[in-house]
Structure 1
């Protein structure tokens, strides 16, 4: 799953459900003028396209590969059949959808009320949670689009984090140097979102139903 690959377009039919393994996906809410802002991040803990369980087979947002890596996909109709027939799978997906709704809701309030420096720290932590290693290959233009700001604002705040020795940034590569320090700087939204997903990944339904099962 290469970085930049477009998986879903707004209000287009969902044909496949995606399960990231080492890749990370961003869902982006778009406006008519072509601008947009990230509404959610999906990594190995999650699934893209679970909204079809609500009887809607179209995507309300754009979905793009943010960090390249491996992933699995399933035909949407097969996913719906398994969801309806398998109780354990259904419980797992519903728990995940709840956690993802928490993420979307918290992202909305974060965008309105929190300083960009804290939002950037929270965003980097969420990516780090869902990726392997501590290097993130991202351009400032891409980060600016995801956070709904202009590129100079990202440059200014990334430099702040670098001066605090929390990250190093060079030619589209961000390395987290001090994760504990980054967590202290991040807004409260990181803990709220992390708690929701920790409840999901530590749940009995998640651990008793490895995703590989649905491909056997």
Structure 2
């Protein structure tokens, strides 16, 4: 399979996986897709429960959250218009031990799990695009695990801000310190200190409930080796990332 290109006849679809499909495949999927608004804090997948739908994000951000008895909750993957949830459905799995929670409100195109499975049987191209996304998602999770283990909170925060702004329009993220602490698996005071450090270095600007990236190049350097590899792989395997 060659790297897909964007079908010119479907300009209103924003999800990058759907835009990577040939027009004839997407035209078969569109009647099965329901546009659904997403509110901050909404849970679209619940750990241990059957996954009734796949969600292709058009806007907004969601976190795949793993809950542990010893270390609390932490984020394993950020999903926006680059991807879909849950990848478990692509692999033929009906439930997973993770929650998926909306962080930044937006919209998604929702399809029933059974309908998605049927479409994957009918279309080898769809199956291959989604499997390629699973591959990249695993790489993103590996990079996040590396960052969580080896990097200071400031580096981890820089990494997360890059992931977020890759998936939204513009450079402003509306998110509380409490929500950031949850996704990074740390305490709120640590997030406040890290934000102040990045702001003092003139990488970001903050005001209550909002973060604006003002120097992306320096933020990339601050994130170090945790950022860039999966993004390049996405472009190679699937197509344009932003």
Cα distance, 1:200 vs structure 2: 3.1
Match of 1:123 among 153, 156, 160: 160
Match of 1:172 in 2: 209
**Normalising to structure 1: TM-score of the pair?**
0.90
Match of 1:63 among 100, 103, 122: 100
Match of 2:186 in 1: 149
Is it true that 1:161 corresponds to 2:198 in the alignment? yes
Match of 1:194 among 213, 218, 231: 231
1:77-116 alpha-carbon deviations (Å, 9 max, x no partner): 0001111220110110011000001011121121111111
Backbone CA RMSD of aligned residues: 1.6
Match of 1:53 in 2: 90
Equivalent residues in 2 for 1:6-85, closer than 5 Å: 6-32=43-69, 35-85=72-122
- Relative to structure 1, the CA distance from residue 8 to residue 32 in structure 2 (aligned partners, 3 Å threshold; closer, same or farther) is farther
Name the CA distance, whole Å, in 2 between partners of 1:74 and 1:34: 34
Cα distance, 1:175 vs structure 2: 0.6
SS at 2:117 equivalent: helix
Name the CA distance, whole Å, in 1 between partners of 2:185 and 2:103: 15
Unmatched runs of 5 consecutive residues or more in structure 2 = 1-37
Match of 1:183 among 205, 213, 220: 220
| Residues 60 and 107 in structure 2, CA contact (< 8 A), matched pair in contact too | yes
Name the CA distance, whole Å, in 2 between partners of 1:116 and 1:77: 41
**Normalising to structure 2: TM-score of the pair?**
0.80
1:97-156 alpha-carbon deviations (Å, 9 max, x no partner): 000010111211211111111111011011000001111001111111111111111101
Match of 1:211 in 2: none
Name the CA distance, whole Å, in 1 between partners of 2:202 and 2:72: 32
Cα distance, 1:197 vs structure 2: 2.0
- Relative to structure 1, the CA distance from residue 115 to residue 33 in structure 2 (aligned partners, 3 Å threshold; closer, same or farther) is closer
Name the CA distance, whole Å, in 2 between partners of 1:39 and 1:196: 18
- Relative to structure 1, the CA distance from residue 36 to residue 184 in structure 2 (aligned partners, 3 Å threshold; closer, same or farther) is same
Q: Which moved more, 1:159-168 or 1:183-192?
A: 183-192
Unmatched runs of 5 consecutive residues or more in structure 1 = 207-216
Match of 2:174 in 1: 137
Name the CA distance, whole Å, in 1 between partners of 2:140 and 2:158: 16
Question: Structure 1 residue runs of 4+, over 6 Å off?
Answer: none
